[in-house]
Amino acid sequence: MSEVGATMVGSIIQTYKSRDVQKGEEKGYFKFGGSSVVLLFEENKIKIDEDLLINTQNSLETEVKMGERMGILH
């Protein structure tokens, strides 16, 4: 997981204390402005949900909120 600070983002604040973060637990936050989180997976380890693939093929951004499914282990 890699946080990306967009234009007008002053900083990325990491609040986690240990190496492992549990689902729903705060890991950190962006200070001032909107940004993105990039998730990187090993090849062929997950199957991305079809709606995300279709939107990507059509050059559409898809907002995904914490806890929403994005795919399954493959």
Q: Which two tokens stand for residue 63?
A: 């907002």
Q: Which two tokens stand for residue 66?
A: 């914490």
Domain assignments of the chain as residue spans, ordered by start: 1-40, 41-74
- 23-62 pLDDT per residue, tens: 888 888 877 655 677 888 899 999 999 999 999 999 998 8
DSSP 45: S
Q: What pLDDT score was predicted for residue 31? A: 75
- 9-30 pLDDT per residue, tens: 677 888 888 878 788 888 888 7
Backbone angles phi, psi at 48, to 5 degrees: -70, 140
Q: In the structure, what pLDDT confidence band is assigned to residue 70 with cuts at 50, 70 and 90?
A: very high
Q: What pLDDT score was predicted for residue 35? A: 66
Distance of CA 33 to the CA centre of its chain: 16
Dist. CA 41–CA 63, nearest whole Å: 19
Of 40, 37, 44, 39, which is closest to residue 73 (Cα–Cα)?
44
